[in-house]
Amino acid sequence: MKKYLKYLLPVLVPFIILLLPASSFGIVGMTLVEQRIIAIFVMAALCWVLEPIPIYATSVLIIVLQLLLVSDKGLWFTKAASPQELGHLISHKALMGTFASPIIMLFLGGFFLAMAATKYRLDVNLARVLLKPFGRNPKFVMLGLMMITAVFSMFMSNTATTAMMLSILTPVIALFGRNDLGKVAFALSVPVAANIGGIGTPIGTPPNAVALKYLVDENNISFGEWMLFGVPFVVVMLFIAWLLLTTLFPASIKEINLNIKGRFLKTPKAITVYVTFVITILLWLMGGLHGMNSYVVALIPVAVFSMFKIITKEDLKKISWDVLWLVSGGIALGVGLDKSGLAANAIEAIPFAELHPLLLIAGASTLCLLMANFMSHTATANLLLPLVAALGASMHSLLPYGGEVMLILAVTFAASLGMSLPISTPPNALAYASGHIETRQMAKVGVVLGIVGLLITYAMLYVLNQL
Amino acid sequence: MDKINIICVDDEREVLESVSRDLAYFADMFNIEECESAFECEELLEELDAQQEYVGVIISDHVMPEKSGVELLTEVALDNRFLGTKKLLLTGLATQADTIRAINNAKLDNFLEKVWDPQELLQTVKELLTEYIVEKGLEYEDYIEKLDPPTLYRLIK
């Protein structure tokens, strides 16, 4: 029975919600469309938590169900009720548009950069050059490894970065003595740095992209602005993580020699990759100076790499469409809540205003951190951010603390800080597979970094608000 | 989770049993099949394909009555349905000509000599399976505890 629960619940519970009378939700004047959105949201939450289907499939299901049940071109009987009872149907173009929203394009651009960098070995070669100044003392080699991992994961996927760095590390770890705790430190340093590094840029990790959907109009944050607070946060967190790892798991080996083979490619294609990479990042950092926003800039590498066959037809097939769709579903969920009017209505009905705003920030981010430890970071962000954004927009008591931006950023950062279990993130799973780490050791580091990370997030937001 | 098979082919019962025993490590997550001849293996391949199961690794002896291991593996190499399937020849009696044909026609992925070291066989199959899973684009997370970490790190992009 328990085995089937994960399949039954995501079907039954939303169905019951659909059948309930509209008055049972405690929201005055709730429309049919709003009720259906609630059902879809609950289904999404159950599917992402219980994972009866792949998480990206849940996202696709959200979009398709919204098209069928609440769009202006949905099934005939879904539109049969009187307009007043029915509420606002959502434009099917808006829902389908989530597959190609500017945020998705930003990520696509990031994918192109990362793929080209890997294909032309820019990543390994940079790692080789950047690691040199850190010498051979295990402590400093680890610091170097962590910094490079973090920088790479700001532009590449956290998983790909982790795999690359672990493959550099594997021969080194093999030289450690049987009971040398340094093995644990090294094996853990990579996923930790990759998870933290993802926070540094809007394209570092999918939760950041989801957050961008809610940071619009006067709350808009540009690529450069994000890095202005994201990178210092990453630096502080990395330093703490490094101290933690070197104290908890000191290495008894005295010298480490990382041997990375290869040299920088100098073919015309490789040079095109380097130049495009640098120009794209510079354009991102310049903000609005050139009139383009980060979404438009992101498509430049897509065009250049396609033109020069740097990313070929075969490479195109290897793009992580699942990640893009996963984010699309989250965006669609937000569109549904917003455009149906449910977000505004529900917030009015629930007396959140009585809640202390700081309590809300702390509560929401802690919940997010907790969820992110047990399920996909992106799915967590997909579920919590639309709710938090709606709440933040309506709560005037939040304004002295920086308004909804602070709330959204606190929750977004919390989503990336969930890293205490092998199942928390793919980088953790990869490092755990090395066989050098026990779950207990990973949990110790992950829990400390999660809590410390939240506290630093609050401090950072406080400082940001003072500026 | 997708069903992935490891097939062992050898005309000697004892060899089959001992290979299976060495690969018991995989038994709870993968299907280990034993065939006593190349024909039996071909039948099994048809059956597995009809059920849309994956064939990750074939470990075959060379000298067998009726049809040799190299002939069997050559057929597998040319069969589109088993593109990517890893082929390991486990034999003590291959001439140089056999070996040349095995490499050129059967596109062997690995060659182990009888008598083999159980540890080496296990490690080799681990690596081959890891390559198969990543190259096929299967969900490696599902099998991660049985795979070879260094190979995984090398292949994941």
Average pLDDT over residues A322-331: 95
Task: Return the closest-CA partner of residue A381 out of A397, A364, A405, A398.
Answer: A364
The size of the A-B interface in CB pairs under 8 A is 36
| Domain limit, last residue, from A70, A95, A120 | A95
- Tell me if B61 is assigned to some domain: yes
pLDDT per residue over A216-241, tens digit each? Answer: 888 889 999 999 999 999 999 999 99
Adjacent-strand bridge partners of B59: B8, B88
- DSSP string spanning A137-181? -HHHHHHHHHHHHHHHHHHS-HHHHHHHHHHHHHHHHTTS-TT-T
Residue A319: list chain B partners with CB under 8 A.
none
pLDDT on residue A352: 67
Count of structural domains, chain A: 2
Instruction: Count structural domains, chain B.
Output: 1
One domain for residues A19 and A163? no
Alpha-carbon distance B88 to nearest alpha carbon in chain A (angstroms):
25
Shortest Cα distance, chain A CAs vs residue B91, angstroms:
31
Residue A384 falls within a domain, yes or no?
Answer: no
CA distance A395 to chain B (A): 42
Q: Is the pLDDT of residue A396 over 90?
A: no
CATH number of residue B50's parent domain = 3.40.50.2300
- Flag whether pLDDT at A353 surpasses 70: no
Task: Give the model confidence (pLDDT) of A111-122 as tens digits.
Answer: 999 999 999 999
- Does A41 map to a domain? yes
* Position A402 in a domain: no
Residue B108 lies in a domain: yes
Q: How far is it, in rounded angstroms, from Cα A190 to Cα A258?
A: 15
Q: What is the pTM of this model?
A: 0.90
A427 to chain B, any CB pair closer than 8 A? The answer is: no
Is A352:A391 a contact under the CB 8 Å cutoff? yes
Closest Cα in chain A to B145: A433
Residue in the block written with tokens 């195109």: A316
Residues A117 and A133 in one domain: yes
Q: What is the pLDDT of residue A73?
A: 93
B135 to chain A: nearest residue by CA?
A318
| Cα(A21)–Cα(A27) distance, integer angstroms | 12
Three-state helix/strand/coil letters over B56-122: EEEEECCCCCCCCHHHHHHHHHHCHHHCCCEEEEEECCCCHHHHHHHHHCCCCCEEEECCCCHHHHH
Structural domain that includes position A163: 102-320
Token pair, residue B127, equals 């690596």
CB contact under 8 A, A163 and B153: yes
Asked whether residue A37 falls in the same domain as residue A156, the answer is no
Q: Which two tokens stand for residue A293?
A: 């926003």
Chain B residues in contact with A163 by the CB 8 A cut-off are: 152-157
Residue keyed to tokens 């992101």: A298
Q: Is residue B67 in some structural domain?
A: yes
**Residue A5 shares a structural domain with residue A76:** yes
- A163 in contact with chain B, both atoms CB, cutoff 8 A: yes
| B117 min Cα distance to partner chain A (Å) | 22
Residue numbers of chain B with a pLDDT score lower than 70: none
For chain A, how big is the Rg over CA atoms in Å?
23
Q: Where are the alpha helices (DSSP H) in A220-341?
A: 223-248, 268-285, 294-307, 313-317, 321-339
ipTM over 0.85: no
Q: Does position A325 have pLDDT exceeding 80, yes or no? A: yes
> Inter-chain contact B149–A434, Cβ cutoff 8 Å?
yes
Q: Are residues A59 and A109 in the same domain?
A: no
- If asked whether residues A67 and A118 sit together in one domain, one would say no
CB–CB of B73/B60 below 8 Å?
yes
Put simply, whether B97 touches A (Cβ < 8 Å) is no
* Whether residue A60 is found in the same domain as residue A192: no
Residue B38 lies in a domain: yes
Residue-wise pLDDT tens digits, A283-299: 999 877 899 999 999 99
Residues A34 and A118 grouped into a single domain: no
* Residue A241 counted as domain residue: yes
Task: Find chain B residues with C-beta within 8 A of A118's C-beta.
Answer: 157
CB contact under 8 A, B152 and A430: yes
Q: Which pLDDT score is estimated for A391? A: 87
User: Do A189 and A301 fall into the same domain?
Assistant: yes
A430 interfaces chain B, CB cutoff of 8 Å: yes
Q: Which of A287, A302, A320 is the last residue of a domain?
A: A320
Do A90 and A106 fall within a single domain?
Answer: no
Residue A357 lies in a domain: no
Residue B43 lies in a domain: yes
- Which pLDDT does position A30 carry in this prediction? 87
* Structural domain range at position B81: 4-117
A108 and A83 both lie in a single domain: no
Same domain assignment for residues A259 and A158: yes
CB burial of residue A357 (10 Å; 0-12, 13-18, 19+): buried
Q: Is residue B142 assigned to a domain?
A: no
**Pairwise CA distance, residues B143 & A423, whole Å:** 13
pLDDT given for residue A253 in this prediction: 87
